[in-house]
Amino acid sequence: MTSGRQTAETDAMKSGRLLLVSNSTLHGSGYLDHCHEHIARFLGRKVKRVLFVPYALHDRDAYAETARKKFRTLGYELDSVHDAADPVDAVNKAEAIFIGGGNTFRLLKCLYDNHLLTEIRRRVLEDGVPYMGSSAGTNVATVSISTTNDMPIVFPPSFAAIGLVPFNINPHFLDADLNSRHMGETREQRIAQYHEEPDTPSVLGLREGSMLLVEGQRATLLGSTKARLFTRGQAAVEYEPGSDLSFLLTEL
């Protein structure tokens, strides 16, 4: 099977339209409230129905209903892939795809179990179907889930993900708390450990409140917080909202 890294490299020059959000809920606001304007602009008027993938949470019915209520306030109907008799057919007919957050390992295993990775990649990169991910849904859009924050509660066949972009993302990125007495590794140290392994791609640390918009060969950091980019063998770099990160789409 082709690895997520290889797939992302192959598809790097034909990136689709992606909205990759760090978190579904920002402190002090409701579900997707902090990014609902970005969602509406991203989906536009041509999209009428969104296919939701709730596999990252156990109660898929409740999760789909939460997402459905939110998207209806934005003017879109929402169907959940877990209700479909044939998930692959549902992806093939989708006008837009949204994969929600939860446990990344559970999500990726279900995508493999339902044979959806290749189909989602094809619909996004070849057919131009808009893809939105939040948290775990952002993780699986990248090369692999190796830089997720989640516990491996189940075991997917591989850590290789959909590979819509040729780098990894760490959603919910947290800076070290200098006043904390916690002696475990910081998020930055864990990403450094990842980069101790050979041939590991860059990792974009998306703080809560931030998101990455990809349109063809252009990638722009959006939201209210900065992002931190980690590249193997280089010093980490901070980027302000509005920054052009298009170079990441061709970094192999």
Its domain, for residue 79, covers: 4-250
From 24, 135, 202, 210, active-site residue: 135
Confidence at residue 221, expressed as pLDDT on a 0 to 100 scale: 98
From 3, 79, 150, 243, active-site residue: 150
Q: Are 57 and 110 in contact (CB under 8 A)?
A: no
pLDDT band at 181 (very low <50, low <70, confident <90, very high): low
pLDDT digits (tens, 9 = 90+) for 115-171: 999 999 999 999 999 999 999 999 999 999 999 999 999 999 999 999 999 999 999
From 3, 172, 195, 246, active-site residue: 172
* 244 is known as an active-site residue: no
* 59 is known as an active-site residue: no
For the domain that residue 99 is a member of, what is the CATH number? 3.40.50.880
* Residue 173: CB atoms within 10 Å: 24
Confidence at residue 145, expressed as pLDDT on a 0 to 100 scale: 98
Please count the structural domains in the chain.
Answer: 1
Compute the mean pLDDT over every residue in the chain, rounded to the nearest whole number: 92
Q: Which of 106, 26, 24 is nearest to 59 (CA)?
A: 106
The two tokens of residue 217 are 């060969």
| Angle at which helices 117-125 and 104-113 cross, to 10° | 90
* 135 is known as an active-site residue: yes
Query: What CA–CA distance (Å, rounded) separates 212 from 204?
Result: 10
